[in-house]
Structure 1
Amino acid sequence: MFLNTLLVVLTNLAARFLGNTVFRQHFHLWLSAVLMFGPALSFWVSQHSVFAKRTHFLYRMFLRSGWGWTCIFAGSFVFLLSFSIRRSLSLSVRHLSRLGVAGGLWFGFCKLLYLLENTTGSCYEPLLGGPDVANGQPMLVLREGESKSVCLKAGMVWRGYEVSEDVFLLCLCCLLLAEETAVFGPYLSLGGISDAPLRILFLFCVLLLGLWIFLLLCLLAYFPQFPTQLLGGALGCLSWRGLYQGWYRQGPSWCCPGRPGQGLLNTKNSSAEAEDTKLNHDHCN
């Protein structure tokens, strides 16, 4: 009984915060500020910290498969919420298709970024004993005709025009989770029934959002690469704006899944329909 009460209190507080209009309107601005000023944290953090190692458990377990974790928890929450309200598989699939579209966009951008780095870069072979070895920088000799994969497999160094895929993924996942979970607060305020599994999934999504923000701060503080990370974050924010602030505003159709929560909270009475219209209006502002 105590655990259930604690779950209700925590999820209500988190839903109220994520569903707040101020949070929805300014979260992307806060994320942009983190990208701009986050590398300054490198002056205060210790390079002997466990988070200064790329082999840390959080990096290996979550960062390398960030999109998979986001799809599992966000997809489960979206499906359970939509199906428990309408009992319509087609409607649930329509709302889930937002994750599929974002996943396809992320995959396509990753392929384009790899192609960009592969075509604009060059392979260098580090030679020990060069003139810069006293400064800790070995001399690099250009090796022409090598691709990035072959270069890295041979233990050489690849230098090219790079955009941080990790920061791109984290920013996109943060904005996606904020959008998909924001509907839970208005849903509860309209008297929606929510059992323990739905609340637990929502809480997992909130914890995952907090983890992505923490990992983003760790990357900016311990592995600062200002131009590449800023470009990756900008690409993630632009992807979110193009989807959730652009395409999805057109309304549900065969070529558009619609906004989160659209078509879920209206009931047979007109007052509830008016509240749903207000919810959709507030959600897109």
Structure 2
Amino acid sequence: MFLQKLLVWLSDGVAAFLGSQPMRSYYHLWLACLVIFGPLLQFHVNPRLIFANKRNYFHVRLVESAWSWTLLLTGGYLLLLAYLSSGSLLTTLRHFSRLTVGTGLRLLCDRAFSWLEAATGSCFRPTAQGLLLLSEPLDRDGCLRQGHVWLGYRVSAESFLLTYASLVLAEELSAFKPYLRLRFPAGAPLRLLYLLAATLLLLWNALLLASVVFFHQYSQKIVAAGCAQLCWHLTYRRWYLTRYSPPAPTHDLLLLLLLLRPGSGPHPRPGRRCVCGAGAGGEVSWESTTETLLCRE
């Protein structure tokens, strides 16, 4: 009983914070400040800290697989949230498609970063005195096959991945606040997954700070974070708000809250219908195939 109450109290508190207006409006600015001003901390921290070693446990086990962890926890939470709130497998898959889009953008950006490094680099041969620039033209693959070193402009993959994963997590977790306000089922499995995903968000912020303090050049981190912010903005703040797109995380939930607010009538989006036969105390369901809000006594 105590653990159940503690779980409810913690998840309600975290949902209130992550779903708040300041968090939703300014979290991307917080991440930008983290990347822009975080490197200044390198003058005030001990360079022998464990996080300064790129082979430390957290970097090897978590940063390099950050998107997999994000998909695992966010996907489980999202599947439960979407299905319990809609009761429709189709609607659940439409919400889950946001993670598919995010995975595609992540792979596309990785490919672009790799192409940029190949296009701007040169081949060097290691010698006792250092690196010797080779005069014969070699591409990156040929250079590495011969045991040489390829040096080009390398965008920080860690900064991109941790920034983008944090933005996606923050957007998806913000839907839990209106979900709770609508009194949909919120059992222990859903609440536990939500808290684990929120813990992951906090961990990604900490590892992003460690990454920008100790690794890569300043411009490489700025470009990486800028690409992550652009991917997030074009999807969650632009495309997902249009008609022909995966739905935004909180769209259907906020629509229900608006319709059930005392003293307000139904105001669905243009082209959508509301069939209401009850007040705020009735059962509410969203029929995604016909885009109709059903209210029954």
Measured against the shorter chain, the TM-score band is 0.7 to 0.9
1:45 equivalent in alignment to 2:45: yes
What is the rounded CA distance, in whole Å, between the counterparts of 1:75 and 1:143 in structure 2? 50
For residues 39-76 of structure 1, the C-alpha deviation after alignment (integer angstroms, 9 at most, x for no partner) is 11111221211111111111111111111111111111
What is the rounded CA distance, in whole Å, between the counterparts of 1:244 and 1:110 in structure 2? 20
Confirm or deny: 8 A CA contact 2:159 2:208 kept in the other structure: yes
Confirm or deny: 8 A CA contact 1:41 1:220 kept in the other structure: no
Confirm or deny: 8 A CA contact 1:42 1:220 kept in the other structure: no
Counterpart residue type for residue 98 of structure 1: R
For residues 231-283 of structure 1, the C-alpha deviation after alignment (integer angstroms, 9 at most, x for no partner) is 000000011000011101113x4xx11210323565699425969979xxxxx
Counterpart residue type for residue 148 of structure 1: R
Match of 1:173 among 165, 180, 189: 165
Partner of 1:259: 248
What is the rounded CA distance, in whole Å, between the counterparts of 2:232 and 2:61 in structure 1? 25
Match of 1:219 among 206, 211, 221: 211
Counterpart residue type for residue 144 of structure 1: E
Counterpart residue type for residue 188 of structure 1: L
Partner of 2:291: none
1:36 equivalent in alignment to 2:36: yes
Partner of 1:82: 82
**1:28 offset after TM fit, Å?**
0.5
Partner of 2:111: 111
Give the TM-score, by structure 1 length: 0.87
Partner of 1:22: 22
- SS of the residue aligned with 1:191? coil
Higher normalized strand content (fraction of residues): 2
For residues 128-176 of structure 1, the C-alpha deviation after alignment (integer angstroms, 9 at most, x for no partner) is 1x3xxxxxxx243325333334434554322112211111111110000
What is the rounded CA distance, in whole Å, between the counterparts of 1:91 and 1:18 in structure 2? 23
Partner of 2:286: none
What is the rounded CA distance, in whole Å, between the counterparts of 1:3 and 1:217 in structure 2? 33
Of stretches 166-175 and 156-165 in structure 1, the one that deviates more from structure 2 is 156-165
For residues 186-209 of structure 1, the C-alpha deviation after alignment (integer angstroms, 9 at most, x for no partner) is 221232331000001100110110
- SS of the residue aligned with 2:230? helix
Runs (5+) with no aligned partner, structure 2? 269-297
Partner of 1:61: 61
- SS of the residue aligned with 1:263? helix
What is the rounded CA distance, in whole Å, between the counterparts of 1:213 and 1:110 in structure 2? 21
Change (3 A) 1:22 1:275: farther
Confirm or deny: 8 A CA contact 1:121 1:160 kept in the other structure: yes
Q: Which has the larger radius of gyration?
A: 2
C-alpha RMSD of matched pairs (Å): 2.3
- Size of the aligned set, in residue pairs, is 267
Counterpart residue type for residue 181 of structure 1: L
What is the rounded CA distance, in whole Å, between the counterparts of 1:276 and 1:179 in structure 2? 26
Partner of 1:159: 151
1:201 equivalent in alignment to 2:185: no
Of stretches 175-184 and 3-12 in structure 1, the one that deviates more from structure 2 is 3-12
Change (3 A) 1:162 1:145: same
Change (3 A) 1:93 1:277: farther
Change (3 A) 1:122 1:266: same
What is the rounded CA distance, in whole Å, between the counterparts of 1:57 and 1:14 in structure 2? 28
What is the rounded CA distance, in whole Å, between the counterparts of 1:275 and 1:169 in structure 2? 43
Which structure has more relative contact order (CA 8 Å, sep 6+)? It is 1
What is the rounded CA distance, in whole Å, between the counterparts of 1:218 and 1:152 in structure 2? 29
Counterpart residue type for residue 252 of structure 2: G
Give the TM-score, by structure 2 length: 0.83
Change (3 A) 1:269 1:181: closer
Percent identical pairs in the alignment equals 36
- SS of the residue aligned with 2:134? strand
Counterpart residue type for residue 225 of structure 1: Q
Counterpart residue type for residue 125 of structure 2: E
- SS of the residue aligned with 2:252? coil
For residues 79-112 of structure 1, the C-alpha deviation after alignment (integer angstroms, 9 at most, x for no partner) is 1101112221110000000110111011111112
**1:37 offset after TM fit, Å?**
0.5
- SS of the residue aligned with 2:169? helix
